[in-house]
Amino acid sequence: MIHDNIRPLAKLVDASKDFPSGDGVIRVLKNIDLEIFPDEFVVVLGESGCGKTTLMNIIGGMDQLTDGKLFFEDKDFSHPPEKELTAYRRRSVGFVFQDYNLMPNLTALENVQFIAELADDPMDAHEAIEKVRLTDRADHYPGQLSGGQQQRVSIARAIVKRPKLILADEPTAALDHNTAIEVLRTFEEIVRGQGTTVMMVTHNAEIARMADRVVRLRDGRIDSVSDNPHPLRAEELVW
Ligand SMILES: Nc1ncnc2c1ncn2[C@@H]1O[C@H](COP(=O)(O)OP(=O)(O)O)[C@@H](O)[C@H]1O
Ligand SMILES: [Mg+2]
């Protein structure tokens, strides 16, 4: 895919991140240059500990860079005031985590409504639940749902805000193969159907085959970035 004249949605420029370690610091992300384009499905692939979650947290405004810059739609979010960062997180980014993070005492629908109430221009929570094909489970509590269904509720919760970017951190790592494929199919429908950008982080190389673009991260650096001219469908993946 040629991205020459397309304005990136999010962009990291020479971005590095240190964490305190013992007496000093450890550099976990090292001089990352990365652009994420509108409507693409990007998979960040790398082994455990290579910095994937840190990278996602920085792009999502949950953590801040040590050096370098983060732009979102050309606006500099490298070191914004906390209030601006909170607004950015709320408005522009939807999150999906490995362990769902649903509220146990709210139903599927209420979990989605709760987030919709914090957003500027949410879609109807019922619509979000329908998009993840859980209308018949809307009144169930998380404890009454399978892992895959809970993860689809958390996808509904991410899309209800109509974010430009959805960040998903190992969203299928806790699921068995068939359930994982169901969840990946839901992501696929969101990217291909609604033109939402998804950046998914995983250690599973097979999942990278359904991406438009694959970013390989190794020891805090970008090892390679490659395009998939023919991304596979979720149901074609096998592991
Ligand atoms: N808050 C933190 N404080 C100190 N070290 C951290 C912190 N978060 C992550 N790290 C370290 O940064 C490295 C990358 O972590 P992480 O981004 O979670 O990797 P991945 O998601 O690829 O497994 C690891 O060595 C981890 O121990
Ligand atoms: Mg991680």
The DSSP 8-state label assigned to residue 142 in this structure reads G
**In-domain check, residue 27:** no
Give the Å distance between the CA of 27 and the centre of ligand 1. 10
- The pTM is what? 0.95
Note whether residue 122 is domain-resident.
Answer: yes
Mutate to test the pocket of ligand 1, among 16, 19, 204 (most ligand atoms within 8 A of CB): 19
Q: Phi-psi bin for 49: left (phi > 0), alpha (psi -120 to 50), beta?
A: left
The answer to whether residue 11 is domain-embedded is no
Q: Sign of torsion, CA 159 14 202 239?
A: positive
Write out the DSSP string of 192-218: HHH--EEEEEES-TTGGGG-SEEEEEE
Pocket test for ligand 1, best of 23, 52, 54 (most atoms within 8 A of CB): 54
- Measuring CA to CA, which residue among 151, 216, 215 is closest to residue 186? 151
Structural domain total, the chain: 1
Q: Is residue 18 part of a domain?
A: no
Place of tokens 């909170």: 86
- Is residue 98 domain-resident? yes
Which amino acid is it at 187? F
Reported as a single tens digit per residue, the pLDDT across 189-224 is 999 887 799 999 999 999 999 999 999 999 999 999
The count of other CB atoms within 10 Å of the CB of residue 38 is: 16
| pLDDT tens digits for range 75-128 | 999 999 999 999 999 889 999 999 999 999 999 999 999 999 988 899 999 999
Residue 77 lies in a domain: no
C-beta 52 within 6 A of ligand 1: yes
Domain housing 146? 38-67+82-236
Closest listed ligand to the CA of 17 = 1
Using the mean position of ligand 2's atoms as its centre, give its distance from the Cα of residue 21 in Å. Answer: 18
What is the per-residue pLDDT across 17-39, written as a single tens digit (0 to 9) for each? 999 999 999 999 999 999 999 99
Residue at 21 is within a domain: no
Q: Is the CB of 50 under 6 A from ligand 1?
A: yes
Domain at 46, CATH number: 3.40.50.300
Residue 23 lies in a domain: no
